[in-house]
Homo-oligomer: A and B are copies of this chain.
Amino acid sequence: MALEIERKFLVDMSKLSNLPFGIDIKQGYIKTIDNSVVRVRIKGNKGFLTIKGKNSGASRLEFEYEIPYDDANEMLEKLCSKPIIDKTRYEIRYENHLWELDVFYGDNEGLVVAEIELENEEEQFALPPWVTKEVTEDIRYFNNQLMENPYKNWK
């Protein structure tokens, strides 16, 4: 178990020159009734099953387990709602914090968000020059919402 505290920002890609090596992520969701999240993810060649509790501000309970790749693949194909989210994740260190930059494809092409994970809600951190607006509490940017209402439909 971990209490997950994340903050999420939009990204101005024109201010990022060289991206590090990225890892492909495909993820899908089993739709729940009460805002808890059941996520199946393939990250590179590994499978993961993640359960998250309801959001409480930037904090939420998170339980993540590695599962066989083939299981994850079969769950994505047969049990998860469509479309599956497809993105590349880049990890970028900026002044002692690790940022995860997600570049989306498919129905969310054009969307780039950066997330930072914090130890507690009061932890201070420096904003990289390439992040713009904070969208932590904007549910449109939740990955399970990007499945329901992808970025291409926003305009």
Q: Which residues of A contact B (CB under 8 A)?
A: 1, 30-34, 36, 38, 49, 51, 53, 61, 63, 65, 67, 70-71, 74-75, 78-79, 81
Q: Are B74 and A61 in contact (CB under 8 A)?
A: yes
Copies in the complex: 2
- With A30-B34, A51-B79, A65-B65 known, 11 other A-B pairs at CB within 8 A are A30-B32, A30-B38, A32-B33, A32-B38, A34-B81, A49-B49, A49-B63, A51-B75, A61-B78, A61-B79, A63-B74
A30, A53, A65, A74: residue with the most chain B Cβ atoms closer than 10 Å? A30
Report the Cα distance A54→B49, complex, angstroms: 18
Report the Cα distance A49→B40, complex, angstroms: 13
Q: Across the interface, which residues of B come within 8 angstroms of A74, CB to CB?
A: 1, 61, 63
* Cross-interface CB contact of A32 among B32, B67, B71, cutoff 8 Å: B32
Among residues of B, the one whose C-beta sits closest to the C-beta of A68 is B1
